[in-house]
Amino acid sequence: MKKYFLMILAILFASNLFSQSNSWDGRGISPNSKFRVLNFFINVIYDETDSLNNTFPLNDPWPRAYNEGINNEAIPNYLLGFMDTVYSSQNNGVITRQFGEYSFDSLQMIGDFVVVNVKESRVLTFPIVNF
């Protein structure tokens, strides 16, 4: 009986030893790394329920878009300061600066972003019925 108990204990110990095997658990990510990130921001154009456009304030920093596709002209100013594209001693991007400060500049996070406008009718799987 003692022999079986030790064998079960060894199997449980070995399974716990290799339990952290995914990147979201932190395996394979060195704290002394440089990451390049591409961020996608989706801007929904409300064409099915146009009344939802009136719920957002007129002074909203995100300008209203009317055409689908990649958005290059109606980008809010605060998004330009989201992440730096080049790592330097004077980081202005919020994400780049925070990761640099938290890791004493050993974990460098740089990247860029793409804003995509998508119509609501393309995303919905069923039509909206107003009661």
| Residue 87 within a domain | yes
Task: State residue 5's pLDDT score.
Answer: 72
Structure confidence at residue 24 as a pLDDT band (50, 70, 90): low
Provide the residue range defining the domain that includes 76: 24-123
Q: How many domains does the chain have?
A: 1
| Residue 5 within a domain | no
Task: State residue 45's pLDDT score.
Answer: 82
| Residue 36 within a domain | yes
Task: State residue 81's pLDDT score.
Answer: 85
Structure confidence at residue 17 as a pLDDT band (50, 70, 90): low
Which of 98, 116, 117, 118 lies closest to 108 in space, CA to CA? 98
What is the average pLDDT across 108-119?
88
Which of 121, 115, 124 lies closest to 69 in space, CA to CA? 115
The mean pLDDT value of the chain amounts to 76
